[in-house]
Structure 1
């Protein structure tokens, strides 16, 4: 017959339990009790008993009697010696409670002169008398009692902290990334016709929903007092244009067919999309609050402004583009040193030649930038195609990454890196002022040229004509002086700024001669007479000197290391 659980326990004790003994002080006498071991258990030895007796400071004892008690092991108490040296003192338990009633620590002092040992029952009474009702660590307590852990402070009870509710939030149902998907093919080329920047929704489509807070769980102190949990906050709607909430305030729908946008502050709106075939005299300059898409050409000297993003699918020339968000130039820029392109966030372009670009965050170019002025608050990356940066002036707050820097024909190429935001903003303003003054000067020069051509046919000029000519010459000198002064200020600032020690230049293949990299305050790196081959980085050494390194800086920070994984702002 198969034994039940009780029979199994009894059988284990009968066969495998080790023997045990105890010594206590009873009215000034040492009393010894020895308990028999199971059939296969370890019996108590005389040596163990004598060792314990010596610990109690008992020097005179009845050895023969001890041997007899150990041999018989009948569990009875026998007087084996007179206990001298003091009255018995029981073991002492000290409890220490944390101020928040969440923890209890216990320290046990051993008994003296054969005093009473602490038992589990004793502890249960002590815990009850001290009001401990929750969180007892039974395994720790068992270990203390079994192994006689004295003079050590143990955590023996611990309450449970409350679990706060998770806050509610707004769950957006559309792809809120404002970055183009720049996915290179097997040859490393990016198809700007397939960038998936324009997402669209239909009227009535759900844009987002409000998710309620998830309830929390109360905690409890070691005294059994419940601790309430913090209630989560509701998600708050931030509504822009062309959206509407349902009656329950749970779902947000689009009122129009257009482009859904999630702004950096959490505002959800739907932009109207302005689709244009061309921008020329048939349309005039364009100022539109939503997204502008131009399928064809933008004629020289025309202006497009938008609070959203701007996408132009063919190359542009001397144009003036401004977008609060992103600008995508699928066909590139042939600026011919005129016009101006500015984005609050990022600019993406296939190539730039003699262009003037400014981005609040990043500029990403696939093929090349040639003889252009580029300014980015964070990073400039020219990779994916030829990856060339040749000539011009390139300024970035954090990093510049290219495949080839400079040209085989040793074109002078200037870079500035690590500008503090305040310096960068001031340089942007100065550059805009210089551009505006140069445009005014060009108009004055054109007018002066036409006036001279007209007056060259006359033998003598009238008083008014002389006055006009004098006025134009005066304006030419005035604006030339202004531009000269602004350029001098610009050069002074760029030569004396404190560069960021974490900024760097990354080059995949070549740094050609006549490349100059300015890290601020005279910290220049020049490749005047040599070509540097292979992947390298240029940044400030520990001594603050710009140097070429085969490895990146420790505190590397790149906003667009992998364009495919771009995230929304």
Structure 2
């Protein structure tokens, strides 16, 4: 009968098996220590025997490890050849022999990394304690067309360090390519905090969730970004002499956008080119003159305080505020919120609240309608549809422009003109329309006069003290009066007289100031109230210091002050 003698472990079909470690990690373990063979070593032999007792006599001399299996047809593959002289199968070089799927083959001990930048030779002493020689390794590398070997001396040194009496796997480095150095694209790191806060801690320890810092305001010359310079890529070469191209890597950072300029002191520091707000879109950092809020001003954005202009694509919800040094443009509505701008304010739909809506602007105010709102504008107030139960002041003109534009209820004041289609209502809703008043100057004049009153009281108090202490004679000829006083009383009298003199000087200066402020109340033109359609009873008209209560309906009327009678009269509006 025919048998096959295998001088290796036929159960091993690969050099290493993957198993789970005690920690659950995957690791590679040698499948068999008996399958490593050297060049010309017999790996298998076919024998013909009559019975199993004849097997031992047919085993090759010196081969202590073997397995005998029933003969089955098989093929030989790379690394295995049949030696006719000894009628046995041998290994053509050092390697790991297996019989798998009917093929007897030698698995190469040369292991090339996936990127082809490194090769190691896997060495385990054979059953005869042999390992490959340096020449065998160099020859095999040449056959594989490996060009980037580490050199004969390095391989010899690694082989010399192997203890052939110790049956373990050793990997020696035999080839090393040149690793490519990937380039790095220019990127930037932030030098300011872009992150939005959860809220602001107040002095009492509570958190104001309306102060989230969604607008990061910066000033011209402020440091914004630090540049991470680019790194030029350097190609590598694999162990076969092929170019391994380097690639450009993009680091996790920011890109430079609009109005970010290079510092004159440090080429890697970039500054804000203008005063403005930081805008970060897809990692691109820009400084913009205008804050753009995409959506509502709410708890997501928090309150907005900015030294430039602000645009809101949604509404401003109740309880929030926008304060800007430039213009404010709101596409939708304003609820019970505070809006302050040094420039113009435009509200796309209207201002609607519960008497808590307040808008203060230095320029023109525009809106579609007002309900329970307070408006104070340094320029014109232009409302398209209606003003209802609102307090409005314009330092120029109030104009309700729609064909059915109306003012119902509230207190409306303009420096020059109020122009409206309908004033008041059929149910005689109290409505006050006033022109010829500059509330800014009136407030300034009021403050000056209050200061004058306080100073007058102070002067009168000094006079009272002088009368009480020294009598009326002190006012007739102060110098002569002081001369006859004892030294201590002289000093007290002099101090009071100095205080009186100082107070009178200040009072004179304030009087002159009040006169200058009062001069500003003079108008460039005569003010008027124009009602193109109808004004209803219940409406009160104030033109400068004149008052007229409407007691019947008037149509198409222009109300002005009669310069002769100083009464309010009306003419046709058109």
Q: What TM-score comes out, normalization by structure 2 length?
A: 0.36
Choose 1 or 2 for highest CA Rg: 2
| Structure with larger RCO (C-alpha < 8 A, sep 6+) | 1
Kindly indicate which of the two structures has a greater share of residues assigned to strand. Answer: 2
Kindly indicate which of the two structures has a greater share of residues assigned to helix. Answer: 1
